[in-house]
């Protein structure tokens, strides 16, 4: 837990104190409640799991399906409007801003056949996903990659790559400096 | 009602049971409360109608103006951040994902003259609108069309057309297969 | 206060009465609560300020950091999902639609050094920001400019300029007519 709080301080310049993070960060509550929802989901209590998930959505504005698999130190900043689908998988030390979707393909006819398929993204370690970005379908986003604000990703993304635009295109390899959730120009300027 | 629940199961692979849909789907609650708000709106009780609408927004994250005209079997999936404006009209069997706007033109001077004009979109039957899409102004979206995730639509859309991008452009006629809310590549690949 | 209510009626054709605006407009509540949060923030009570800000987010769906500096007559319409960062500055008579971000650069390593820097946008007077627009980094948006729906702004914007797209580009000088939050075509057509 201490590691998690420390990692948030490193990622949010506005984070003032541990007490403030525990009490007032919706993303911290949402990840905690997801662990409980996921416990009931794995145990087969689908309805209880979903009620916990929707209660969390009501209090935090963040909707994580109880079936989603989430790694260590996921930080959802601001978080309002985030939707993480049932078969999503998220690695360690990932940062997700508000209004991000890890979404599925919209079925037009045959929803039943997709009920047990992988329909949502797999996110690697140390990925940053900017506000409003939409990642749709069973695509993979490689370790260390960054998805810009309002970008729409519908294909696999390689490691350490910044994706920008609608539809999203790779800009260039990540540098070690700061990152604007949109941030092409900064990226290019720094290198 | 049964038809409506059945139609949701067909459209959402994550929907497990009727009880789960009735209890835990914010979009189902929002459409139900809209029917009550619209009743008071039509009867001329604007303030009561608006209080019901805003109460629904508080509990569901979905804001539907009491004046909006909505057809049968509207399914708003996830729904957080959806805004549906006063003079919007929605056909039957429409699916809307979270963060979608059916919005008006922003007045700079003369708000008064627009108070009784049609300012918001008209959506046909069987339309699917992906997460984050913005449909702005008194435009028409034809039956069976699909608006991709984060697309911005400011012109009329023909029937059975997929619109993608900012601003949105037609990709090609809809096929009968599945649809990624963004989904150009899948569309093209399938045909 | 009267001026503020009057300015909202001018900007929202759906606004029916003063009572309706005071009781049912989330943006009015959020700006009022921000004034209290900002009072505690300036007085050095960071945690109280943040609890007020997060309480406001829970009731309104609008997240304004207590440190943000806001001018007169800010109207946040619909408002769900709006995020306004700590070092943001907003001029007078600004209109912001739902799902707008005035955001910071995402730090990858050195969050500590940025804790006292200007990290968020400065918005001029009479600016209109369309739904879903993301304005990221310490950029300036000049007086009278308009940011289209879902646009992503990462550079300074001159006065009386309409910005459109991902990333956003200037379209042409603002005319005096109406404005679609996306609105390129309308702009061009009118002139």
Q: Do residues B90 and B123 lie in contact, with contact meaning Cβ atoms separated by under 8 Å? A: yes
Q: Which of B75, B63, B55 is nearest to B103 (CA)?
A: B63
Residues of C in contact with A146 (CB under 8 A): 106
Does A104 touch chain B if contact means CB atoms closer than 8 Å? yes
E-strand spans in A57-121?
A: 63-64, 69-70, 75-76, 83-84, 89-90, 95-96, 101-103
Residues of A in contact with B183 (CB under 8 A): 105-106, 136-137, 154
What's the mean pLDDT in C2-25?
88
The residues pairing with B136 across neighbouring beta strands, listed in sequence order, are B103
Can you tell me which residue has the tokens 């009735």? B22
Question: Degrees (nearest 5) of the Cα angle C22, C68, A84?
Answer: 85
Q: List chain A residues with pLDDT less than 70.
A: 107-115, 172-191
Residue A186: predicted pLDDT: 41
Q: List chain B residues with pLDDT less than 70.
A: 107-115, 172-191
What CATH number has the domain bearing residue B170? 2.160.10.10
Contact B131 A83 (CB under 8 A): yes
Does B176 touch chain A if contact means CB atoms closer than 8 Å? yes
Residue B127: predicted pLDDT: 96
- pTM recorded for the entire structure: 0.91
Residues of B in contact with A66 (CB under 8 A): none
Does B109 touch chain A if contact means CB atoms closer than 8 Å? no
Tens digits of residue pLDDT in A135-191:
999 999 999 999 999 999 999 999 999 999 999 999 865 455 555 555 444 433 332
Contact B150 A132 (CB under 8 A): yes
When mean pLDDT is compared across C2-11, C44-53, C158-167, the lowest value belongs to C2-11
Residue C188 falls inside a structural domain = no
More confident residue, C175 or C15: C15
Contact A101 B165 (CB under 8 A): no
Residues of B in contact with C128 (CB under 8 A): 106, 108
Residue A88 falls inside a structural domain = yes
Residue A171: predicted pLDDT: 85
Does B148 touch chain C if contact means CB atoms closer than 8 Å? no
Which residues does B2 contact at the CB level (< 8 Å), separation at least 6?
A: none
Residue C114: predicted pLDDT: 64
Q: Do residues A97 and A78 lie in contact, with contact meaning Cβ atoms separated by under 8 Å? A: yes
Element spanning A170, H or E: strand A169-173
Q: Do residues C149 and C133 lie in contact, with contact meaning Cβ atoms separated by under 8 Å? A: yes
Residue B179: predicted pLDDT: 58
Residues C44-63: b if buried by 16+ CB within 10 A, e if exposed: eebebbbbbbbebbeebbbb
Residue C43's pLDDT band, with cuts at 50, 70 and 90, is: very high
Residue C191 falls inside a structural domain = no
Instruction: Give helix C46-60 / helix C26-42 axis angle, nearest 10°.
Output: 170
Sheet holding C140-141, edge to edge: C69-70, C89-90, C122-123, C140-141
Residue B183: predicted pLDDT: 44
Q: Domain tally for chain A?
A: 1
Q: Which chains touch C (3 or more CB pairs under 8 A)?
A: A, B
DSSP code for A107: P
Can you tell me which residue has the tokens 């849909």? B21
> Which is it for strands A161-164 and A169-173: parallel, antiparallel or unpaired?
antiparallel
Residue B165 falls inside a structural domain = yes
Residue A190 falls inside a structural domain = no
Can you tell me which residue has the tokens 């929002």? B30
Does A188 touch chain C if contact means CB atoms closer than 8 Å? no
Tens digits of residue pLDDT in C50-75:
999 999 999 999 999 999 999 999 99
> Residue B17, class by beta-carbon neighbours within 10 Å (0-12 exposed, 13-18 middle, 19+ buried)?
middle
Tens digits of residue pLDDT in B78-129:
999 999 999 999 999 999 999 999 999 876 445 566 667 899 999 999 999 9
Residue C178's pLDDT band, with cuts at 50, 70 and 90, is: low
- Give me C84's structure tokens: 């306004």
Residue B189 falls inside a structural domain = no
| Among the partner residues C54, C114, C136, nearest to A149 by beta-carbon distance | C136
Q: Is residue C139 predicted with pLDDT exceeding 90? A: yes
Residue A162 falls inside a structural domain = yes
Residue A188 falls inside a structural domain = no
| Dist. CA C189–CA C185, nearest whole Å | 6
Average per-residue pLDDT for chain B: 88
Residue C171: predicted pLDDT: 86
Average per-residue pLDDT for chain C: 88
Q: Do residues C115 and C96 lie in contact, with contact meaning Cβ atoms separated by under 8 Å? A: no
Does C144 touch chain B if contact means CB atoms closer than 8 Å? no
| Dist. CA B127–CA B118, nearest whole Å | 20
- Give me C86's structure tokens: 């700590």
Sheet holding C169-173, edge to edge: C75-76, C95-96, C128-129, C146-147, C161-164, C169-173
| Dist. CA B83–CA B79, nearest whole Å | 9
The string of DSSP letters for C32-73 reads: HHHHHHHHHHHTT-HHHHHHHHHHHHHHHS-EE-TT-EE-TT
Q: For residue C164, give the 3-state DSSP assignment.
A: strand
Domain span holding position A159: 2-183
């Amino acid at each position: 837990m201490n590691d998690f709080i420390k990692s948030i301080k490193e990622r949010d310049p506005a984070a003032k104190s541990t007490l403030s993070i525990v009490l007032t960060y919706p993303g911290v509550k949402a990840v905690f409640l997801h662990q409980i929802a996921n416990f009931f989901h794995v145990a087969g209590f689908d309805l209880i799991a979903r009620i916990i998930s929707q209660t969390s959505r009501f209090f935090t504005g963040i909707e994580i399906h109880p079936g989603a698999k989430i790694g260590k130190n996921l930080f959802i900043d601001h978080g309002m409007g985030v939707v993480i689908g049932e078969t999503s998988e998220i690695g360690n030390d990932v940062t997700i801003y508000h209004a991000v979707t890890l979404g599925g393909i919209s079925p037009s006819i045959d929803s039943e056949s997709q009920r047990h398929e992988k329909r949502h993204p797999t996110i690697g370690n140390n990925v940053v996903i900017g506000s409003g970005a939409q990642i749709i379908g069973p695509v993979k986003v490689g370790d260390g990659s960054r998805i810009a604000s309002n970008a729409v990703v519908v294909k696999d993304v390689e490691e350490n790559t910044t994706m920008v635009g609608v539809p999203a295109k790779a800009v260039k390899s990540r540098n070690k400096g700061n990152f604007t959730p949109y941030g092409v120009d900064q990226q290019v300027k720094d290198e």
